[in-house]
Amino acid sequence: ESYRVAVDAKTSGKGAVTDTQIDWVTLRDHRAQHEADYSLVVAPNPTPGRLTDRAAEYRVAIMSARQLAGLCRQHARSPLGLHDYKALFTAPGSVDTADLDERADDLARLMALAAQICATLATDTADFGRLTARDLWISLARTDAGNGSTVDEIRSILTTLASPLIAAIHGDPEHGYVLATDPRVTMRRLELLGTRIAEPSRLDG
């Protein structure tokens, strides 16, 4: 589900933005003019108090420049979708990124865990044969990526990696898994899949 946000950026020579520096009526008009669903003001060190009260009155979300920079860095590491970011704009006043940070951290953790699973399959199956989710859970408990993981999480990742679309590993839950191909081949498959998903018009050709 798509949505539109009218964004207004503010600067201040004093290093902080107060209520009097924002034209709230104009923000409301811009939202209506552009048929936007939400309004967002990005400013350096927005001052809480009357600023956030007025933001709530005019249905405007307030984000600091530092928060925006952090979200950009976060998105580069753990890309999230429009649905995830929508929560930033639905509640007027100061933006709270805590839930978003948690989702991004969880995604980064799962990606690191998936990479460690593949690395372990590459090194350990020669000595121990196929590895099940429980085998990997025991082995990965000693690593940073695997610390705190669960057998169910690892089982879910194995199912994803073994799917025909990715085919990075081969096997089954009962007997265990081995690598099915060079990790660079898997990387190329995922790159091509991402390209196809991002440009669906290519499928028509």
- Whole-model pTM: value is 0.80
Instruction: Compute the distance between CA of residue 60 and CA of residue 15 in angstroms, rounded to an integer.
Output: 21
pLDDT, tens digit, for every residue of 14-27?
777 888 888 999 99
Confidence category of residue 204, pLDDT binned at 50, 70, 90: low
Query: Could you give the count of Cα atoms lying within 13 Å of 113 in the half-sphere of its Cβ?
Result: 26
Structural domain spans, the chain: 5-96, 104-204
104-204: CATH number: 1.10.10
Average pLDDT over residues 193-201: 82
Instruction: Compute the distance between CA of residue 69 and CA of residue 178 in angstroms, rounded to an integer.
Output: 41
Considering the chain, what is the average pLDDT of its residues?
A: 91
